[in-house]
A and B are shown apart, each in its own frame.
Chain A
Amino acid sequence: MSESAPPGPLVLVIEDDPQIRRFLRTSLPANGYHIIEAATAFDGLRLMGLQHPDLVILDLGLPDIDGLELTRQLRAWTTTPIIVLSARDQERDKIAALDAGADDYLTKPFGIGELLARLRVAQRHALRAAQGSNDPLFTLGNIRVDLVRRQVFVGEDEVHLTPIEYKLLTLLAKNAGRVVTQRQLLQEVWGPNYTSENHYLRIYMSQLRHKLEADPARPRYLITEPGVGYRLKTE
């Protein structure tokens, strides 16, 4: 549609509330994004096919198709990062959308700072996936993970991790900055039969914090997203 490729990333906002769209229409271009808007899921799908945006911001409470269903439909044919917006009482939908392939979520009300951070992470992740990056070294603050030698260092000291702890850490590192749901973690680390054994996950996350964090009760990196999952904080 556009004659020349826009200089910044193109964001498709699928949101029925005109004031939120208005706020995003003002704030996102000011931060270097271009924006196209859809008030319904139907319009969203249409624009998705026509304009191939780089990022999607999707409200879960749409009037025609619910956001979860739309996420599934989109994931059937595109890997474009999706960030879902949810109200406080939509916990279940939020998790379901994430498990269905959404990249991240934001709970309303949210500040522009949080939204930009989510967009940056999603972009970076999409970029890495596209380039097939396999950097053998992952660094976060004073934590270094050598993915080739399977060694973890805090400062200069090597920390011994169990195989499960190591798997958990690398999985979070691979998704650095993004939320990973409990279900995704359990399925990847323990296997498909363990997707409801949440307490296993919590015990190992706790052990990991004790090994990596200065104060496990006030983690700086291994952040809990209550009720949803975990996030390796990068910023």
Chain B
Amino acid sequence: MMGILQGERLKTLLERAWGSSSGAPLPPREDDAAWPGRERLLVAVSASPLSARLIRAAQRMAEGLNAEWMAVCVETPQYARLSESARARLTQNLNLAEQLGGKTVILSAANASGEILAYARAQQVSKIIVGKPIHPRWRDLFFGSFVDELVRHSGDIDIYIIHGEGETSFVPAARALQSPWQDYALAAALIGLCTLLAALMHTRFLPGSISMVYLLGIVLAAALYGRGPALLAALLAVALFDYFFVPPYRSFNVTNSEYALTSLVMVIVGWTVNTLARRIRYQVEAARQRERRTAALYDMTRELAATQSSATLARIAARHIGALFEAQVALLLPDDNGSLCAAHQPVPPIENDVAAYVYAQGRPAGQHTAARQAARLTYLPLRTAAGATVGVLGVLPAQPQRFASPEQMHLLETFTAQITLALERAHLAAEAESTRVQIESERLRSTLLSSISHDLRTPLASMTGAASTLLQEQIDAAARRELATIVYEEANRLNRLVANLLDMTRLESGVRLHKEWYPLEEIVGATINRLEPQLQNRPLTTALADDLPPVRVDSLLIEQVLVNLLENAAKYTPAGTPIRLSAWAAEEVTVEVADQGPGLPPGTEEKIFDKFFRALPTAAGGIGLGLTICRAIIEAHGGRIWALNRAEGGAAFRFTLPYEPPPEIQVEDV
């Protein structure tokens, strides 16, 4: 269930962040359905300085309509050629949109108008705002008009066209992707090679066939190199073909119009192949980049899915984000007191006030965001789908301008979303666990209540009975003594039950051990002294090894363990059978209480340590807490406790206490 949800969610997130180059419509977000009547505006943004005006206009319009709005930029293949300054302007435009409260989206596709319309329909946009074209009209004849196409296919979506009055027109910047001079040389060489080949063919072939050789060279150059070299190759080919192989020879004059057409076709083919090749190259590059990001995101998501603790999550997330963005990363999570602290090490220096702002507001801040731009780092909130902020991600990239690019920022946001999901999942798991514990403790409480009502009432019943009989006058001395003994013994039993309940409560609420160094012998002695009345008719042997080191324990608690074990042995074995208490030291100190009774029912060796479990429910005695208390105490000391049936008959309970090097004792001079 979880996995499927996550997969769906991941897909949505990926698409939301990077757009879908195929133009597939995005599924409407769940929250869209909640606002069926609400207006949505979309403003198409480009690298043009006029876009800023468009964005402001859209914001004003949205405000007037009380509508949501978004700024959308479609990255077409031409974007690869944009100059640095144009890119910066695009970034500025998108940042402006975000600052004004708009959502920004970058889509990538070859056909801008189609992509925008598809996205607008998916997002239930009611109005689209675009800029009035400022380029000469003749371009539309050749390349098609973005605005015309938009209007033609808009259907029920309103299109607003706004002009950029009073602002400087956008001059396309110098081509960013300059072909290196080597490409020109190679293109020229290729055509030279064609000329050589043509010269060999010249005597036996017609000029039409020779033109094919040149065409091959043009196509190759167009496919392999950039626009410049391709154009050079085409023109060079046309020139050389005309000069050498079209009569009149050694002249650029072309008398036969057939060859003029051939020359023209050669140039057009070169141009077209080059355009197609560039488009393919662009798409391959885009696909490769997407592939790399998806792989990085997938890697992180997979690792996150395998972790539960938020500290580990933070470490994994920081490593992946750091590697992909070449940045120092700090993942800040609230501690128990609700104040943010780094969940992993090492972290870059964090501006705590900015992080706190992001955590409180649930909005990004720092470098390249709308708020607190003076901060050195970029801070993003980890926001859950429900809108709660569960942490803050601080990033300090090696290249300071990295997150100026909205595309990189969006990628970072996608990672943030994944981390949030993982944290949410870990949180939910912890919550489920605590609910389970709570249910368990509820169950225990009700068991406890029924135990108390039964086990505490039994001794009370015999005490009440015996005491009320004592109050009658006609009782002989022997009976009187017997009744008084009953009251005394039952009161003692009740005392032990209450003591056990109190011990358990105290241990469960987190016991603080008062550890000190003791000879084990002393604790054993105190235990036997305390149990003397109960063990009167029992042959009890003690066998403590001579080389026992002192143990560092809470003596009262260890004494309680021994008392419970010895009492159990006395309770569950026939009167008069011997009990042996022994201890020996190896890597740790082991203590054993062994009896010669019937042993434990098979399969209960583990269960007897469970709360309220009694091996023989009818046997007179406790409420099944004695061994649970023992286990809690021994485990708090870092030891183990277990039960076994001895080969020679009877049960044995063993516990260990970890070895610690004892303190130096100054021995007195005798």
Q: Which residues of A contact B (CB under 8 A)?
A: 88-89, 91, 109, 111, 162-164, 198-200, 202-203, 205-206, 209, 215-219, 223-227
Contact = CB atoms under 8 A, between A and B. Distances in A.
Contacts of A224: 522-523, 525-526, 529
A215 B525 CA distance: 9
Contacts, number: 68
Given A109-B491, A217-B542, A226-B555, A164 B668 contact: yes
A162 B516 contact: no
A93 to B, nearest CB: 15
B522 A205 contact: yes
A90 B484 CA distance: 29
Given A198-B516, A206-B519, A218 B525 contact: yes
Given A164-B668, A227-B555, A203 B529 contact: no
Contacts of A89: 502
A227 B519 contact: no
Interface string B523-555: 111101110000000000010100000100001
A164 B214 CA distance: 115
A162 B668 contact: yes
B183 interface: no
A227 B556 contact: yes
25 contacts: A88-B499, A88-B502, A89-B502, A91-B556, A162-B670, A164-B668, A199-B516, A199-B517, A199-B663, A202-B517, A202-B522, A203-B519, A203-B665, A216-B521, A217-B524, A217-B525, A218-B524, A218-B525, A218-B528, A224-B522, A224-B525, A224-B526, A226-B523, A226-B530, A226-B559
B536 to A, nearest CB: 13
A161 B495 CA distance: 42
Contacts of A88: 499, 502
Contacts of B530: 226
A216 B556 CA distance: 19
Interface centre among A206, A224, A225 (most CB of B within 10 A): A224
The 4 closest A-B pairs by CB, nearest first: A199-B517, A224-B526, A217-B542, A206-B519
B259 interface: no
Contacts of B519: 202-203, 206
A200 B664 CA distance: 10
Contacts of B523: 224, 226
B572 interface: no
Q: Chain B, interface size: which category?
A: 20 to 34
Contacts of A218: 524-525, 528-529, 542
Given A198-B516, A223-B529, A206 B521 contact: yes
Contacts of A164: 668
Interface in B361-420: none
Nearest to A111: B488
Nearest to A225: B526
B518 interface: yes
Contacts of B550: 199, 202-203
Nearest to A210: B521
Nearest to A223: B529
Interface in B633-670: 663, 665, 668, 670
Interface string B477-509: 000000000001001000100010010000000
A216 B524 CA distance: 10
Contacts of B663: 199
A111 B491 CA distance: 11
Contacts of B559: 226
Contacts of B521: 206, 209, 216-217
A135 B518 CA distance: 34
A199 B525 contact: no
Given A109-B491, A216-B521, A216-B525, A226 B665 contact: no
A202 B528 contact: no
Nearest to B560: A226
Nearest to B503: A88
A191 B516 CA distance: 20
A217 B580 CA distance: 13
Contacts of B502: 88-89
B526 A226 contact: yes
Contacts of B516: 198-199
A202 B518 contact: yes
A219 B525 contact: yes
Given A205-B522, A224-B525, A200 B665 contact: yes
Contacts of A216: 521, 525
Interface centre among B518, B525, B542 (most CB of A within 10 A): B525
B528 A163 contact: no
Given A199-B517, A202-B522, A226-B559, A217 B528 contact: yes
A18 to B, nearest CB: 18
A224 B663 CA distance: 22
B323 to A, nearest CB: 53
Contacts of B518: 199, 202
A93 B516 CA distance: 20
Contacts of B517: 198-199, 202
Interface in B571-605: none
